[in-house]
């Protein structure tokens, strides 16, 4: 009997008592409409590689192997410029350091 009375009082409290305003659920259409969509920042590491392939670079370095060091650097810079790459880091020291106390 007590269970029935407790259930009756619980039901009456839920029916007659004023309910607090309900919050919108995270997945409801109204809640999603309220949200402002801002694009996620794109990491540059997510983009595909934009440079030349390893095979292309190997071929460029093989082609100028028989030239003198100065001509070879110029050849490599020209070959990279043709494919749109700025080759500004020479691999060898073109101008040797000479002066007193330096062996040539």
pLDDT tens readout for residues 55-100: 888 888 888 778 888 888 888 888 888 988 887 766 655 555 555 6
For the CA atoms of 86, 90, 91, 97, what is the dihedral angle to 10 degrees? -170
Residue 103 in this model has a pLDDT that exceeds 60: no
pLDDT bucket at 45, cuts 50 / 70 / 90: confident
For the CA atoms of 30, 33, 36, 42, what is the dihedral angle to 10 degrees? 110
Q: What's the pLDDT at 96?
A: 55
């Amino acid at each position: 009997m007590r269970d029935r009375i407790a259930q009756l009082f619980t039901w009456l409290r839920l029916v007659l008592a004023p309910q607090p305003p309900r919050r919108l659920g995270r997945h409801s259409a109204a809640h999603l409409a309220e949200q402002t969509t801002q694009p996620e920042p794109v990491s540059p590491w997510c983009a595909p590689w934009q440079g030349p392939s390893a095979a292309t670079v190997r071929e460029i370095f093989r082609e100028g192997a028989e030239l003198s060091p100065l001509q070879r650097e110029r050849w490599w810079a020209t070959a990279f410029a043709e494919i749109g790459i700025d080759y500004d880091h020479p691999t060898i020291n073109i101008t040797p350091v000479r002066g007193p106390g330096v062996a040539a």
